[in-house]
Amino acid sequence: MSIKDLSENSKPRERALSLGIESLSDIELLAIIIGSGTKDASAIALASDVLNTASSLYNLSRIPLQSLSVKGIGRVKKLVLSAIFEICRRVQSEQNSEYAKYDNSQKIYEAIYPRFYGLMKERFMVILLDRKYDKVYEGFIDTGKNQKITLSFHELFKLCTTVSAPFAIIIHNHPSGINKPSSDDDETTEAIKVSLKIIDVKLLDHLIVTDSGYYSYKDNKKI
């Protein structure tokens, strides 16, 4: 059965328009995002398969969508799903950071964590601050694909010299959920600190973030 065969009161878009988007189930919301079905399955059926495969919306937000294997969900639909989750992360991050001063680790974590929420691969981010600790730049500065991600020192130096900010904060996530630094993390932090000093930029902190908390190099007197 296709969505066209459903009664008006059962179609997700019509229900959203008449009752409000908040009245829809998770499957109905996914069906609207997916947009259209295939000759063998409606958008509702595809949405149900996607949610059953992931078990929950939370898990779906964490799955690298290129590895999501559901018949009828191709690259374009996966891209749309990825875009939706990324927008959610950015909205939450903007809300948290709108009036934030980045002068302690807790404020940094609360402001930036949504950008890392649910990610199953390691990412590196830099925040550049002016002398009042106001943010002048925020963005990811890593290279690589899939799970092989490394910090791009070239991009970091280019940003610092272009923006002319005196302070930098590095953040990266541990998808494992363990918010303790590895020996590689320690070496990377020291290398960043020494390298930035050459261009008169002070590394204020390096945060390792997870879904359950964070580790601050500054708070632990390792920077």
**pLDDT for residue 10:** 61
Higher pLDDT among residues 91 and 138, named by residue = 138
Does residue 221 belong to any structural domain of this protein?
Answer: no
- How many percent of the chain have pLDDT more than 90? 41
Residue 28 has pLDDT above 90, yes or no: yes
Residue 160 has pLDDT above 50, yes or no: yes
Tokens of 85: 């989750």
Same domain, 82 and 116: no
Same domain, 208 and 107: yes
Residue 63 has pLDDT above 90, yes or no: no
Q: How far apart are CA 209 and CA 102, in angstroms?
A: 16
Same domain, 127 and 44: no
Q: 217: burial class by Cβ within 10 Å (0-12, 13-18, 19+)?
A: buried
- The parent domain of residue 143 ranges over 99-216
Over residues 188-217, the mean pLDDT reads: 94
Last residue of a domain, one of 68, 90, 112: 90
**pLDDT for residue 62:** 76
Same domain, 66 and 123: no
Last residue of a domain, one of 90, 121, 146: 90
Residue 192 has pLDDT above 60, yes or no: yes
Q: What is the pTM of this model?
A: 0.64
Task: Give the chain's domain count.
Answer: 2
Does residue 151 belong to any structural domain of this protein?
Answer: yes
Q: What is the mean pLDDT of the chain?
A: 85
Q: How far apart are CA 110 and CA 81, in angstroms?
A: 25
Same domain, 35 and 121: no
Does residue 154 belong to any structural domain of this protein?
Answer: yes
Higher pLDDT among residues 195 and 145, named by residue = 195
Last residue of a domain, one of 90, 116, 140: 90
Does residue 209 belong to any structural domain of this protein?
Answer: yes
What is the domain-level CATH number for residue 167? Answer: 3.40.140.10
